[in-house]
Amino acid sequence: MKLLALESSCDETAAAVVEDGRRVLSSVIASQVEEHKLYGGVVPEIASRRHSEAIVPVTQKALDDAGLTLQEIDGIAVTYAPGLIGALLVGVNFAKGLALSANKPLIPVHHLRSHIAANYITSPELEPPFLCLVVSGGHTHIINVKSYTELEVIGRTRDDAAGEAFDKAARAMGIPYPGGVEMDKIAENGDPNAFKLPHPRVDGAPYDFSFSGLKTAVINLIHNAKQKEETLSVPDLSASFRKAVVDCLVQNTEKAARETGAQKLVIAGGVSANSLLRRRLQEVCKARGWAFYMPALNLCGDNAAMVGAQGYYEFLAGNTAGMDLNACAQMPIQGPKAL
């Protein structure tokens, strides 16, 4: 089954053709990051406008690269939630138009489910059940993936997402948006023990995270240094901050895996590109004899190939939509029934 998949939940307009959930026939991404960089973060109104401009050429290129016409496609998968509402609406309305005109099934896909599905492309042997740490710009969840379409959140952030914390701390250090990516590189040349930073825990919820105190600690260090007209080493501060975030992520994920008896550990989302997180979880899994899966670096950030991967399993589970499909800014990963 060949799906045309569309993604427009944030600042990437993407289209892909994916066969049977695992084989990527084409994948096209138009990133808006350079434009949003000017403002230090994503400007929702600009994002919507750029999606409207890019969606037709990006989709056409995905079909051309796959060597297929719309008629040769078996269904249209689209990210419908969660994300920036104006941005999501562009993809959802375009997908509805395509599905109606070509008389193809319309398959709504949850953004975080698709991030997890990026792993099905990278590791064709991977099948649920497994435990997954989903770390993106907007979400930080530990998820028990029981089957392709049955997912249970067992831990979550109480405040900032890991990616958001990386971006905000990076911004305070003068690193341009999206700071997490750049900070990861800078941190490679810093001393991770140069600054003692808090490792916040949530009382009574061992799998939950809290990153806002850690972010504030870094911002305070920078402000105090400025007042004393001192300069802090950005590589040392980056390395210390990255280590603190990764310590928290690894600690809770390892505990969750141990206590739920998971044999397979998976990571997903933009922050799963973080080199320290990848190394550390790989070590933990090796020591404990667990299988470890991570998406290829080009599938960690937002893309449509992952939407096509998850869309296939949603279709098999009967999760298609009619012309009344709407975009939703917020949506639990369990789906609309959990609202």
Phi-psi region of 40 (alpha: psi -120 to 50; beta: other; left: phi over 0): left
200 prior amide bond cis, ω within 30: no
For ligand KG4, the closer CB: 66 or 249? 249
Which CA distances in Å does 173 have to 186, 233, 243? 11, 9, 16
Chain positions contacting ligand KG4, by CB under 6 A: 10, 115, 136-138, 163, 166-167, 178-181, 184, 269-271, 273-274, 301-302
Cα separation, 255 vs 259, whole angstroms: 6
Of the pair 167, 208, the CB lying nearest ligand KG4 is at 167
Q: Is 12 in the site for Zn ion (CB under 5 A)?
A: no
Cβ-based nearer residue to ligand KG4, 179 or 308: 179
Q: Do the beta carbons of residue 118 and residue 268 sit within 8 Å?
A: yes
CA angle 213, 215, 216 (to 5 degrees): 65
Decide whether 120 or 166 has the Cβ nearer to ligand KG4. Answer: 166
- Which one, 240 or 272, has the nearer CB to Zn ion? 272
Q: How far is the CB of 76 from Zn ion (least distance, A)?
A: 20
Q: How far apart are CA 310 and CA 191, in angstroms?
A: 40
- Of 155 and 178, which CB lies nearer to Zn ion in the complex structure? 178
Phi and psi angles of residue 150, each rounded to the nearest 5 degrees, phi first: -120, 110
Six token digits for residue 9 = 């939940």
From 128-136, 169-177, 183-191, 246-254, span contacting Zn ion (CB under 5 A): 128-136
How many chain residues bind Zn ion (CB under 5 A)?
Answer: 2
210 binds, options Zn ion, ligand KG4, none, Cβ within 5 to 8 A by partner type? none
Distance in Å, CB of 46 to ligand KG4, minimum = 16
Residue 311 touches which of ligand KG4, Zn ion, none (Cβ within 5-8 Å per kind): none
The CA-CA-CA angle for residues 13, 15, 18, to 5°, reads: 150
What's the closest the beta carbon of residue 182 comes to Zn ion, in angstroms?
18
Report the residue from 86, 302, 310, 315 that binds Zn ion according to the rule CB under 5 A.
302
Nearest residue to ligand KG4 on Cβ basis: 270
Please, what is the minimum distance in Å from the beta carbon of residue 85 to ligand KG4?
14
Q: Cβ closer to Zn ion: 132 or 197?
A: 132
**Residue 181 touches which of Zn ion, ligand KG4, none (CB < 5 to 8 A by kind)?**
ligand KG4
Which of the listed partners (ligand KG4, Zn ion, none) does 180 bind, with a CB threshold of 5 to 8 Å by partner kind? ligand KG4
Maximum Cα interatomic distance, the chain, rounded to a whole number of Å: 67
Both structure tokens of 82: 């969660």
Contacted by 75, from Zn ion, ligand KG4, none: CB < 5 to 8 Å by type: none
Number of other CB atoms surrounding residue 30 within 10 Å: 18
Phi and psi angles of residue 248, each rounded to the nearest 5 degrees, phi first: -65, -45
Tell me how far apart the alpha carbons of residues 256 and 142 are, in angstroms, rounded to a whole number. 8
Question: Which of residues 14 and 197 has its CB atom nearest to Zn ion in the complex?
Answer: 14
Question: Element (H or E) spanning 225, and its range?
Answer: helix 212-227
Cβ 174 to ligand KG4 shortest distance, Å: 15
| Interacting residues with Zn ion between 136 and 165 (CB under 5 A) | 136
Q: Give yes or no for a contact between 146 and 262, defined as CB atoms under 8 angstroms apart.
A: no
DSSP state of 234: H
Give the footprint of Zn ion on this chain (CB under 5 A): 136, 302
